[in-house]
Structures are given as structure tokens and as C-alpha cells.
Copies of this chain bind each other. A is one copy, B any other.
Amino acid sequence: MSRGYFSHIPPVEFKGVDSDDPLSYRYYDKNRVVLGKTMEEHLRFAVCYWHTFCWDGFDVFGAGTFERPWHTGVLDQDAADHKLDEAFDFFTRLGVPYFCFHDVDVMAAAATPAEHVKNLSVIVDRIEEKMAKTGVKLLWGTANLFSHPRYMAGAATNPDPEVAAFAALQVRHALEATHRLGGANYVLWGGREGYDCGLNTRMGQELDQLGRFLNMVVEHKHKIGFKGTILIEPKPHEPTKHQYDTDVATVYGFLERYGLEKEVRVNIEANHATLAGHSFEHEIQLAIDLGIFGSIDMNRGDPQNGWDTDQFPNDLREITLAVYYILQGGGFSTGGFNFDAKVRRQSIDPEDLFYGHIGAIDLTARALLNAAAMIEDGTLERFKEERYAGWKEGFGAKMLAGDVDLAGAADYALEKNIAPVRKSGRQEFLENYVTKFVK
């Protein structure tokens, strides 16, 4: 039951592309079937709890601007309940199927391990009720191992194992809560798993701690029978100078090193991708090709600013390509599009939370239509198929299969007096092709 913060905003409905109502969907028609599945099934949208309900609009240079009624100064059970009521009211009015949360987002603040367990348990009961009542589901849960001062030097990678023990407590209960609530995934973002100063840090030691911790999480998942996917969310830096889970390629190497590449996948955030010096679609494609693609944190950074701005996405071309690669990779299994995005701190009204989400949802739905049209057309895949055809047979196939050694390949070049005919990569043609579908 809501307390009325959003009560003046009617449920957001699909009104078609010509709608002038800024609180309606123009593209997201959740039951519309595209490539054999409904939009809702393809896109699996989730609202994140932290940015939308916990953040008060503060930044490093200024105090909160939002004045949400549930931000009363102390995060006691009342405030947590109030927040929960409004959150589910928001989910319902927005019409998204999923949400995501950190343990400390939803619960009353706790001072001790015992209080932590208790307060989390109390709110999980209420979340369960809310979910049953509304039909809103949990895309993923996670534990916040970075905001409390105890984690200032890391959680699993802390020089003090007692801190890692506290982290284990949080993860255990967050994972069990996620399991109980039917979550489709469990995420770990290592906000303080990195370093600020190489001079006081043993990187190899800390990586071993992190590898062991992640194995403990995976083992516990199996022990309790959680069927969802364990996901790591890469980020190159911020808050720490260097985060160990830098990007998809780094996480892949880490998983290989600690024997987890079959157990753990990645939750790719757009803004983290660009902070790491990659395009969003690069990270998606790489994760697919390495077999560790899991889920998406949808947002965007500012291409001229160097920190995690977590803005709502609005680049239709970028999201069209993102959806295209995901669909080509088989689409989401347990993952989905979680909006790890926040309205700007000048966007202080309840309406603004709707504008942010509606714009992003509609953009992604539109991107789905574009991507589906490209897939049905097939030009891109045919182009690639033909471009790499030489590796499917003859010398290329043999070399790839390991049937030619270096001397053999060298001799082949010498004997055939090879002078490869270069072919245009057709980049501009292909970019124009995509532009045509971005509509």
C-alpha cells in the first residue's frame, strides 16, 4: 500500500508512437511479439532500488535535493517500510516486471551482525508479501559491501579477515534472501575490491582472497539450491583508484584463474564499459564470445566526464547495437535490463523518476524493434559469414584445427608465393546500413 508520493501519476500505458503524453509508452507494448517472444520476455526490465529510492540527490559537492518523504534522517524500520511501499507502488505504476536491491537498500540500518540478520529478515518478509501482491519479481539481489566504513579497505580483499567475515555474513544472507524471493540472479559488484595506493597493497594476496571468497559464494549457492546465476559486475575504478574487476576481459581471466569460468557470468554496465575504455557493445560481444554473458545494468556515462554518472540511456544507436548483439547471442537467459540509472539531482519531482524510466524503457523497446529488423534482414551476419569464409575450409580450417604448424604455414606462404588480395572492410557501408535501421 502506497503512502501517496506517486499517487497522482496514473499507471503508464502503451499509447503508440504518436502519443504526446510524456507519461505514456510509445514503443514498449509489453505483450507485442517480436521474433517469437513478447517485449516483456525479451527485455526483462528491472528498476533498481538504490538510485531511485535510497539516493537523496547528494553529490560530493552538495547535499541532497530530493526531499523524499521517507528520507527522514534515520533509516529505521518505519522509514524502510515507507520506502518499500512507495517502491512497489512505483514498480506497479511503471509496469516493469522486475526490481533489484542491495541488502542495505531495503532494510533498517543495523549496528551489529545480529541486527543485520534480523533487520534484513524483517524486510524480506514484507518484500515477499509485496511481490506476491503485485506480481513484481526479483531480477537480482546483492549485498552492499562498500558503503559502511568497515569496508573502507575492501570487503573480501580487506587486509583484515574479520571484515571479510562480515562480508560473508552479508552475502550469505543476501544470497539466501534472493533465493527465497525467487531471484533470477545474484550479483557481486566489488566497490572497494581494489586499491587506492599500491604502496600498502598486496595485489596477489588480495586477488587470492577474492578468488576464495567467490568460490565460497558459488559453493553456498549450490548448497542452498539456488538456481539463479552468480554475476560479477566489472568496473575499472571509482570509488577505488583501481578495481580488480576492471572489465569483461579482466573478469574472465580472474574466473579462469580461480576455476570459476563455468560458474560465474558478468553483469555489464554501460557506464562501467565506457569508463574502462570500451564501447558498451564491445563488452557485450566479448562476454558472449567468452561464454560469460549474464545481464545488463542499463545506463550511460557522460562522454566528456570521467566518473560514473549513471544517467538514463538515450542513445538509440548504441542501444540498438547492444540489443542486436544480445539477441544474436541468444538473448537473456536469467539476465535482464536493470536500470542502474538515476535522475539528475535537479530532477527533484516524483514525475522525474517516471520520465527517466519511461524514456529508457521506450528507447530499449524501440532498439528491440530495430535490432529485430536487422536480424530478419540478415545482411550483417551474411557479410561476416562471407568475410571469414576462408577459415571454414582448406588451409584456413586446417590451421585453425591445429593441423598445420608454424613451419608448415610458412612453407605454404613461400610455396604458393602468396600475395593476398585485400578486400574493403566496408565500414562506412555497414555503418550506413545500421543508421538506416536506427529509427
Q: Which residues of B contact A304 (CB under 8 A)?
A: 237, 241-242, 274, 277-279
Beyond known contacts A150-B419, A249-B253, A352-B427: 5 more, CB 8 A cutoff: A62-B192, A159-B387, A165-B399, A199-B433, A348-B422
- B425 near A166 with CB under 8 A, answer no
Asked whether any CB of chain B lies closer than 8 Å to the CB of A263, the reply is: no
Interface size of A as a range: 35 or more
Asked whether any CB of chain B lies closer than 8 Å to the CB of A125, the reply is: no
A419 to B165, CA, bound (A): 10
Please state the number of chain copies in the assembly: 4
A5 to B382, CA, bound (A): 28
Across the interface, name the chain B residue whose C-beta is closest to A67: B149
Q: Which residues of B contact A348 (CB under 8 A)?
A: 152, 422, 424
Q: Which residues of B contact A241 (CB under 8 A)?
A: 302, 304-305
- A61 near B191 with CB under 8 A, answer yes
Cross-chain pairs A/B with CB under 8 angstroms, 15 sampled: A57-B149, A62-B239, A113-B414, A117-B414, A168-B406, A196-B344, A199-B434, A201-B384, A220-B405, A238-B305, A238-B307, A250-B253, A316-B438, A348-B422, A362-B432
Asked whether any CB of chain B lies closer than 8 Å to the CB of A326, the reply is: no
- A146 near B61 with CB under 8 A, answer yes
- B432 near A383 with CB under 8 A, answer no
- A346's partner among B355, B420, B424, B433 (CB-CB below 8 A) is B424
- A412's partner among B152, B165, B256, B390 (CB-CB below 8 A) is B165
Please encode chain A, from 232 to 270, with 1 for each CB lying within 8 Å of some chain B CB and 0 for all others: 000011110110001101101110110000000000000
A57 to B246, CA, bound (A): 24
Given contacts A256-B253, A344-B428, contact A220 B406 (CB under 8 A): yes
